Structure 1
Amino acid sequence: MLTTLRGPSLFIAQFIEASGPRATAAGLAEWAAGLGFKALQVPALDPRLQDLRDLSEADAIRRLETVSRDSGLEVSEIAAHRAGQAMAVHPAYEALPGMERAKAGPEAAARDVARAIRIAAALGAGRVAVFSGGFLWPYIYPYPPIPERMVERAFDELARRWRPLLDAADAAGVDLCFELHPGQDLHDGVTFERFLALVDAAPRARILYDPSHMLLQHMDYLGFIDRYHARIAAFHVKDAEFRPSASSGVYGGHQGWLDRPGRFRSVGDGQVDFRGVFDRLAQHGYDGWATLEWECCLKNAEDGAAEGSRFIAGHIIRVTERAFDQSLRGTLADEAIDETLGIRR
């Protein structure tokens, strides 16, 4: 069934500031509405959002309901990426900045994800964007060869940790949308399929589709939609480019983002074929939101947001409600069809 997807929405995580209006969900909503966005993807557990910080779950829901009503914006998804990442953390990453949640352990991470599920359900968003967490990323290139059963053991444990949350999401009518992302154990179609098999094809195990991560992995990101469209429930509109280099490759040489051969760009400035992406999503009946995620090593964030809103609005395909040749088709009774075809009964 052809469906016109919704948008533009804005993932606000990259636009939170330490003070001023954009230190709050309310201020960010007002700013985003002025740029033409129609919804927000909200990291409701982010302590930087001063008007949500330290609120009870019920108060956070009421606050977001007020923000939505006052701004006229919907909540497209609740984002819980850091909580998801903390579900499974290799010891090599535990001490890094930004991994504070991991120190509380996977049980605390699971409580955070469960809270995000309940908030999404209460707001009618119906989708939570998450990372999977990762035990295996330090071993992504198999030298020295990793021991037998290490991959199987890691995926068994990943599935064991996520299965209760997938059941809770199903009971709440909420999709858990795994962003397939390098650094996570679920980072491409093969790893998602392996996980899906271990959770008995749980109906709420869905995909947050972000073509930028697939382009940088040299994947067929349009073919990915054809293959996995039934599982895609969220969509990050984020651009990237890969510029072949004589001195560095896909791993980037430990360089900063500006100097890597593969780097993220503001939407429209990179190499992702978004006309093809929006076309495939429309063809397969994607009924979720197109959500701008701004990450660019070059362009100012303000310009990226303003341009991104217009870019998404300009790429949304308002699907046709009838076939272009419908009025010419007409009808014939079966007997008349047989006579026309020369079929003798």
Structure 2
Amino acid sequence: MKISFEVWPNMPWGRLEAAGPAWNSWGDLSSPETVRKVAEYGYDGVDFLLGHLMNVPSEQFDENLRATRAAADEAGLEIFYVANHTTFVSPREYDRERGIASFKKALDAAKVLGARSACTLLGDGFYDPPLNVLMSRKEAWRQAKEAITEVALYAKDLGLNVSIELLQGTILNKVELVERMFDEIAMDNLRVTMDTGALYVAVKPFMSVRDAFRRLAPYIDIVQIKDEVGLPTIVGTNHIWFGGGLVDFRETFDALAEIGFDGCVSVEWEGWQVGGQIGVGEPAGIGLANFDRVAEESLEFLREYGFTTARERA
């Protein structure tokens, strides 16, 4: 496995009420600058939220992608994925159409960057936000299946994978539901993003983490690693600094080793988006927005539990 670092734009979800206009210390840097920073801290790769890549005038977007890839090539870093957590399920069809189009833009960007995948969660959820008030579960499943199929076909033409995040607030919040969806769609470029926060607060009440990794092993290409506290629902979940939460990092490492995982483990630090007792951010509402500290200290922490970069093992 290889260790990468995920780069976030400022205010990634817009003016998310739980977090406000969230800011991080790399949010205003150019994407090529962040590539060089990630390389300095010794990672194998770098991953981007689409919003960071788009943080330039629209006419400069294509050039920014080329410059970002050039910076990665020069630094010897891989770009594993572009993330765009966008709307696939909604009672408002125009929002859904816009969300699918936005994810296709992420796939186009991933192609230019030489990434393997674009990943998403099935926004706007079903259980959070509670769209179940406005639409049936059957309708949410239909919308999710159609959207995933559409983007997977688009990605196939680009030679890319679509990686779907198992997340507690969405219609795909359990292992068996991911398996069922993938069986129904039956496309060979579908993959799974496993988030350790979701694993330990949403999956673990139903099965062991090791069993989850075993069952989804053929599909997993991305592991987003973080610590987490809260109830087994996204409404009561908060991201917390490594070591302060419920995630068992030794168990995670052993489970990945057991399945021979050879994808990327990406440091996904979301606790900079200060929230309250609900939503994103650290429970105390303090947040840690200094991404230089995050990049350095995350790798130091993960080494204690067996996670090392391919560079270190070479």
Q: Which residue of 1 aligns with 2:179?
A: 193
Aligned to 1:128: 118
| 1:309 maps onto 2:299 in alignment | yes
Gaps of 5+ in 2: 12-22, 272-281
Q: Say which of 78, 81, 105 aligns to 1:77.
A: 81
The answer to whether residue 213 in structure 2 is matched with residue 216 in structure 1 is no
The reply on whether 1:44 has 2:45 as its aligned counterpart is: no
1:17-166 matches, within 5 Å, as 22-46=28-52, 49-50=55-56, 53-55=57-59, 58-81=62-85, 85-90=86-91, 105-134=95-124, 136-137=126-127, 150-166=136-152
Q: Classify the secondary structure of the residue corresponding to 2:179.
A: helix
1:243-295 CA distances to partner (integer Å, 9 max, x unpaired)? xxxxxx5558x7xxxxx6x4321223322111121222122121111100112
Deviations 1:181-205 (A, max 9, x none): 2332222213313322331x22222
Displacement after TM superposition at 1:75 (Å): 1.0
Pair 1:205–1:218, CA change in 2 (3 A): closer
Q: 2:50·2:83 contact (CA, 8 Å) conserved in 1?
A: yes
> Judging changes above 3 Å, is the alpha-carbon distance between structure 1 residues 224 and 33 closer, same or farther for their aligned structure 2 residues?
same
Q: 2:5 aligns with which of 10, 22, 28?
A: 10
Aligned length: 280
* 1:52-80 superposed Cα distances (whole Å, 9 cap, x missing partner): x4146643431222231344432121111
Is the partner of 1:136 in helix, strand or coil? coil
**Alignment partner of 1:180 out of 142, 161, 166:** 166
What is the aligned-residue RMSD (CA, Å)?
Answer: 3.3
Provide the residue aligned with 1:271 in structure 2.
246
Question: Whose Rg is larger?
Answer: 1
Residues 226, 267 of structure 2: 8 Å contact kept = yes
1:235 aligns to what? 223
Question: Distance in 2 between the 1:309 and 1:317 partners?
Answer: 8
What displacement does 1:306 show?
1.9
Amino acid at match of 2:238: R
Inter-partner Cα distance in structure 1 for 2:9 and 2:62: 25
Counterpart residue identity of residue 147, structure 2: R
State the AA in 2 paired with 1:13.
W
**Are residues 113 and 139 of structure 1, via their aligned partners in 2, closer, same or farther at CA, if it must alter by over 3 Å?**
closer
- Spell out, residue by residue over 1:313-344, the C-alpha distance to the aligned partner (whole angstroms, 9 max, x if none): 4523699xxxxxxxxxxxxxxxxxxxxxxxxx
Asked if the contact 2:87–2:96 (Cα under 8 Å) also holds between the matched residues in 1, the reply is yes
8 A contact 1:130–1:177 mirrored in 2: yes
